[in-house]
Amino acid sequence: MLPNWLTLSYNGTDVFSTDNVKIEMLAGRHINSGLCAGAPLEAERTYIVVQLGQQFVISVYGQPFSLQEKFDGYTYCLIIDICQTSGNAVFFMIPEPSRKILNELDAFRPIFDDQKLNITPFGVGFSLEGNINTLWKTSEVEFWMGEESFALQYVSS
């Protein structure tokens, strides 16, 4: 059910168990009211949801991305449009309890401490055809700078 450009592999030393992965087939409305909420999904469309724990490697076009041991106990979600209506879209979502993962990375700690910056990642979408419908309303503000004007789009609630 995964697109051919996406593979999952378990690289743990423990015996593989259902604690490490959960796979479900759900409608978008059920996904966006559950643990893996947040992706721009069609309410009645069917998706495969893969909930991953630690010790998994996700490969995109053969480039591996490991869910490091430092993130043991966190859950991550892959949401795949099985009807391929979103142009081979796959969403990598970070559920609410796992969104503090950046605080665990030493590389970000000085930025967070010194600048009092807070970054909360929700997820990222991948599409081969670039046609993910974000479903968010956008507004536009027009600016004028002397002889030039330009418009800036932003997400509005």
Domain boundaries, the chain: 6-156
pLDDT score recorded for residue 17: 65
pLDDT score recorded for residue 86: 53
* Tokens representing residue 57 in the block: 């490697």
pLDDT band at 72 (very low <50, low <70, confident <90, very high): low
pLDDT score recorded for residue 18: 67
What are φ and ψ of residue 79, in 5° steps? -120, 120
Q: Tell me the whole-structure pTM to 2 decimals.
A: 0.71
- What single-letter amino acid sits at 117? L
- What single-letter amino acid sits at 127? S
Mean pLDDT of 81-103: 76
The CA-atom distances, in angstroms, between 53 and each of 12, 58, 141 are: 11, 12, 42
What are φ and ψ of residue 120, in 5° steps? -120, 100
